[in-house]
Amino acid sequence: MAYPANYRYTKEHEWISLDGKIGTIGITDYAQNSLGDIVYVDVPKVGDSVTANNSFGSVESVKAVSDLFSPVSGTVSAVNEELKTSPDKINEAPHETWIIKVELADTADFEKLLDAAAYEKFVSEETGA
């Protein structure tokens, strides 16, 4: 699967797109594929703070529970309420299904993340593919 070029990525397999100071965060196709069928998503509340590289919630699948790590620091401005009843949307469209939106404290955080080519290289090295 091609990773959207306008997104940035973490080595923990989250993606973020940026619109002004608002970052939209989800998990990559590689992450959802590794997890299997997602059955529950635990997320912070609007107004909560998140810190770059720290856990902000978790994704539960039939295989395991995995922490979600914020690619940036800031304040949660929106939560994808649809995931409460349909967490499997992440499996169906991982790069279109967002989990939270964050107002970035510093947009420079975005620039420090992996671009699509670097992320694809990281995944291929990690999987040996």
Q: Write out the DSSP string of 63-105.
A: S-EEEEE-SS-EEEEEE-GGGGT-TTHHHH-TTT---EEEEES
Q: What is the mean pLDDT of the chain?
A: 96
The residue type at 7: Y
In this prediction, residue 1 carries a pLDDT of 63
Q: In 3-state terms, what secondary structure has residue 31?
A: helix
Shortest CA distance to 71 belongs to which of 33, 46, 36, 101? 101
Edge-first strand order for the sheet with 55-61 is 38-42, 55-61, 65-69
* pLDDT over 90 (residue 128): no
**Integer angstrom CA distances of residue 94 from 54, 57, 68, 87, 114:** 21, 17, 14, 11, 18
At 85, give phi and psi (nearest 5°): -105, -20
In this prediction, residue 77 carries a pLDDT of 98
* pLDDT over 70 (residue 52): yes
CATH of domain 8-123: 2.40.50.100
| pTM of the complete model | 0.96
